[in-house]
Structure 1
Amino acid sequence: MSKQTVATARRKARVRRSIKAVANGRARLSVHRTGKQIYVQVIDDAKGLTLASASTLDKDIRGDIKSGANVVAATQIGKLIAERALKAGVKEVVFDRGSYRYHGRVKALAEAAREGGLSF
């Protein structure tokens, strides 16, 4: 493994460990981004189930966005995941940014999810 891969894995594990310590039974809003897309899931770690998910590859969103790798797309995905999570009965989550900084697309997604009705 390269030095960068090891550092990324350690950062992700550190964030996940701190999130699980403060979760108190809340579901986890997990974000994954690539150079072209952004994906988000609401996960119940106690049961090991994905309660809701959304990505820029969803047919509902795909026609509306120009690119899946920008702040506009992340904002729409944040609103969509909030809507789907509320429909699944989840109102409170803990935000898992993974190994990504809380900046740009990740920040836009989180703010849109908060505006959509999720609290974290």
Structure 2
Amino acid sequence: MANDTTDRRKARVRRTLRARAYGKPRLSVFRSSKQIYAQIIDDEKGATLAAASSIEKTQREGLKTGADVDAAKAIGKLVAERALAAGVTEVVFDRGAYMYHGRVKALADGAREGGLKF
């Protein structure tokens, strides 16, 4: 039951994004109980342009845990840096089925600080 509602919510968010994207890549977020992941995806090509996660070795050494707001903000800045290096400046934010709150919001704020526009 919970999986059906989660899938429906995710599909609703993606449908709205697709209508408003105008060809921009999307910044997709996945959070687990211990880590957070972000990737910038070009849906037209079906390719990942940039990615970052708290499970990377450099991030594990610098962060206390991958499951807090500080880690999410650091991952947001890192994915923004990698996106700018790949030539991406504007994205649409895909929160998936997660509420725009806590770690998801911190990742978005970090990406904005890093130079991405959405």
Using the size of structure 2 for normalisation, the TM-score is 0.99
Within 2, Cα distance between the matches of 1:5 and 1:107?
23
Size of the aligned set, in residue pairs, is 118
Instruction: Quote the sequence identity (%).
Output: 64
Q: Alpha-carbon deviations, 1:26-70, whole Å to 9, x = none? A: 000000000000000000000000000000011221101111110
Unaligned runs of 5+ in 2: none
Q: Distance in 2 between matches of 1:61 and 1:87?
A: 19
29, 34, 37: which one aligns with 1:36: 34
What amino acid sits opposite 2:81 in the alignment?
E
Ranges in structure 1 where 5+ consecutive residues have no aligned partner: none
Q: CA RMSD in A?
A: 0.5
Q: Which runs of 4+ in 1 moved over 2 A?
A: none
User: Which residue does 2:64 correspond to in 1?
Assistant: 66
The one-letter code of the counterpart of 1:75 is K
Amino acid at match of 2:100: Y
Aligned residue number for residue 18 of structure 2: 20
Matches within 5 A, 1:27-106: 27-106=25-104
SS of 1:52's partner is strand
